[in-house]
Amino acid sequence: MHTLLFLEPGHFHAALTLRVRNPRVEPAIHLYATPGPERDAFVALVGSFNSRAEDPTEWNLVVHDSDDPERALVDERRGAAVVLAGRNQPKLGAIARLHAAGFHVLADKPWLTDGAALPELERATAAWPIAMDIMTFRHDTVARLTRRMAASGELFGGFAESSEEPAIDLRSTHHLLKMVNGAPLTRPAWYYDTRIQGNGLVDIQSHMTDQAQWLVGEGRGFDPGRDLELDGARLWCTPVPLDLFRASTGLDDFPDTLADRVTDDVLDLACNGEVRYRLGGVRVRQRAEWGQREPEGGGDAHGATVRGARATIVTRRGPETGFRPELHVAPRVAGRRFDTGLDEAISEWKRELPGLLHRPSPLGREIVVPDALHTPHEAHFAMVLDDFLDLLDANEWPALLAARIRTRYTLLANAHARALRSTTAVSRPPREENR
């Protein structure tokens, strides 16, 4: 069994890896963190998993007090695997140091906020032990079906694009004030400092880049010098009034560290971004935005358009779907051949995903996924932990994974630099281009 060590879990994603019991993990888990609200929040969330009425966990959380938590973790070496989620600006340095000390690391995204940390990225992903980032999207049922459909030569026919539209078009909207695991999410003040958290070109964009890599070729590692071509990047702000900051942090005022970005009690938060690039020759556009407050009864919104020679795949989740994920496919040429191919594909996929069917929709054909096959986003973190443990148990260096990690963070570091050279972050979003 594996003993997990948690270092400075300043983000709730760390605790979500423990949302369910795991027979491969020792019940005793060790926490090394500076005393304060972030440590308290981690302890409380793990405690809520233990105390819930339905299928409670049985974690024995051992808290280790130290003036230097990272040093204590390394010196005491109570396990070989470290989970890390929190401040992004110093994160990659910690990953590289833990890697050099012989620890496997599962770390939340993003690993960097700018290109200064790229040398540490190379060191952390050069060889055993394993350093892996928490990428939850691949456990979403609609995402898995999108990947299968895009890989089907019969249905999809390979990527296609026009002069106006990319082959892969990804977009999302998250919210600063939101609910997580049934309770309002409290954010630390540093979350609003892009020098620590990162801006709109490195956070959600890391998930999107992983999604694009998955669609273009799961069996490919990619090489930043050979497979990446950055076409453009831009950055803009979401205004954060003081009342919103108070509601999401519990603090009375903006800290002095943000004073240079606050005007008339409104913080300009450069959390939105768009990146345009080519990955292995396939043109990609990624647009990630942040709203102020999550809509009542709603949540995050996601969408993707994946264009092929034979069909276009559209996924969407937002107000227009009642915040339920939907998957549609539209053939370039409608006819019996496509319908027969889709019938055959659905029949094959139903072996693993029973209950799938397809029906007419305004966007072509909708692939209907039964409710029982959908899993909430919070559940995916424990699934990623299982992926990580699979790699440890296999005891083989995952070279392709390491190459994908280097490629996606190199892209985002370069996009960050490109945007800052060419534009100034603005309070309003840029004019919509043709989509």
- Can you list the domains of the chain with their CATH numbers? 4-136+386-404 (3.40.50.720), 138-379+416-422 (3.30.360.10)
Quick one: tokens of 188? 């630390």
In this prediction, residues 208-228 reach a mean pLDDT of 89
Residue of 271, 270, 269, 265 whose CA lies nearest to 241: 265
* pLDDT at site 221: 77
pLDDT above 90 for 170: yes
Residue 433's pLDDT band (boundaries 50, 70, 90)? Answer: very low
pLDDT above 60 for 430: no
| Cβ contact 138:109 at 8 Å | no
Q: Strand pairing of 301-307 and 168-177?
A: antiparallel
41 vs 432, higher pLDDT: 41
In sequence order, which ranges of 184-280 are alpha helices (DSSP H)? 194-197, 204-216, 224-227, 242-249
* pLDDT at site 435: 40
pLDDT above 60 for 247: yes
Sequence-distant (6+) residues with CB within 8 A of 406 are 121, 122, 125, 224
* pLDDT at site 434: 38
Helix, strand, coil shares of the chain, percent, nearest 5, are: 35, 25, 35
Residue of 87, 169, 82 whose CA lies nearest to 131: 82
pLDDT above 80 for 426: no
375 vs 120, higher pLDDT: 120
Residue of 175, 280, 230 whose CA lies nearest to 412: 230
| Cβ contact 310:156 at 8 Å | yes
Residue 432's pLDDT band (boundaries 50, 70, 90)? Answer: very low
Over residues 332-368, the pLDDT tens digits come to 877 778 888 899 999 999 999 999 999 999 999 999 9
Q: What is the mean pLDDT of the chain?
A: 91
